[in-house]
A = this chain, B = another copy of it.
Amino acid sequence: MTNETIAILHPGEMGAAIGARLRSKDLSVVWAGAGRSAVTRARAAAAGLRDAGALCDALVASSVVLSVCPPHAAVALAREVAAADFRGVYIDANAIAPATSHAVASIVEARGASFVDGGIIGPPPHDGSSARLYLSGRDAARLAALLTAGALDAVALDGGIGAASALKAAYAAWNKGATALAAAAHALAVHAGVAEALAEEWQRTQPEAVRRLDVLRRAARKAWRWKGEMEEIAGAHAEAGLPDGFHLAAAELYDRLASFKDSSAPPPLAELTRALDARARRG
């Protein structure tokens, strides 16, 4: 098993951290640097990943592909990999609905790969911060043993394809949903001129809501990426016979924060709140 080579597509913050953990147990890890930014290149190099150049070269060298990308890009990436006739194990570790995971499985298996569903919970795994990579599907137990590496804990789940995606969806449904919910309630109070009274009530009995406003400020630069994830989670709820409105609303709110994309410092709460208000945005 230690002769396996893993392709990470693509090494963003999460993918690079996972790659570094796999390198720490002497696995070969490659990526496809052709056409990628200098920032990504530097990140991948720092993580010890080998740049195989073009996607097809990375795939030829690899027995396992780990797809780690924004949710809205997951299906397109699977198509690219399938188009290159990849026949190893394809793990989709993205924040997608179980139905999307089944769609990705069909795409890559049609061209000879075997599919494993995945879901990552936790921050990028470093010293001092650990993440779980949940895996489900036929080969999940073997891959969990292969990929567990220090702060990265790979865990096989029963339930077949869709189980790992559903777990990630349920976790983020609460976590990112509650953050959007708190931000909307705060914006409602600001709109009515009662934000100070709400803050007092929240400090008295709802410290979690206060905390989440701060979480959102600090994450504002990446909130735009959560739109796609919220839409996937809405889909997962609908599939399960549950209302999808929570996460369609959260998707809309996070989309309104796109102007903070890659901003260097957390915005003041007042600025964030103005961005959430559709009427202030038009005004």
Q: Which of A162, A167, A180, A277 has the largest number of chain B CB atoms within 10 A?
A: A167
Closest chain-B Cβ to A98's Cβ sits at a distance in Å of 6
- Whole-angstrom distance between the alpha carbons of A143 and B221 in the complex? 46
Where chain A touches its partner, the secondary structure class is helix
Known contacts A181-B173, A185-B170, A189-B166, A201 near B121 by CB under 8 Å? yes
State the number of copies, please: 2
Q: CB of A13 within 8 A of chain B?
A: no
Closest chain-B Cβ to A24's Cβ sits at a distance in Å of 23
Of the four ranges (under 10, 10 to 19, 20 to 34, 35 or more), the interface on chain A belongs to 35 or more
Among B155, B169, B192, B252, the residue within 8 A (CB) of A167 is B192
Query: Interface readout for A164-185 with B: 1 if CB under 8 Å, 0 if not?
Result: 0011011101110110111011
Q: Which of A174, A178, A250 has the largest number of chain B CB atoms within 10 A?
A: A174
Find out whether the CB atom of A98 lies under 8 angstroms from the CB atom of B159. Answer: no
Known contacts A192-B98, A197-B157, A237-B184, A174 near B206 by CB under 8 Å? yes
Kindly list the 8 A-B residue pairs having the minimum CB-CB distance in the complex, ordered from nearest. A166-B192, A245-B249, A245-B245, A241-B279, A243-B249, A241-B278, A191-B240, A170-B189
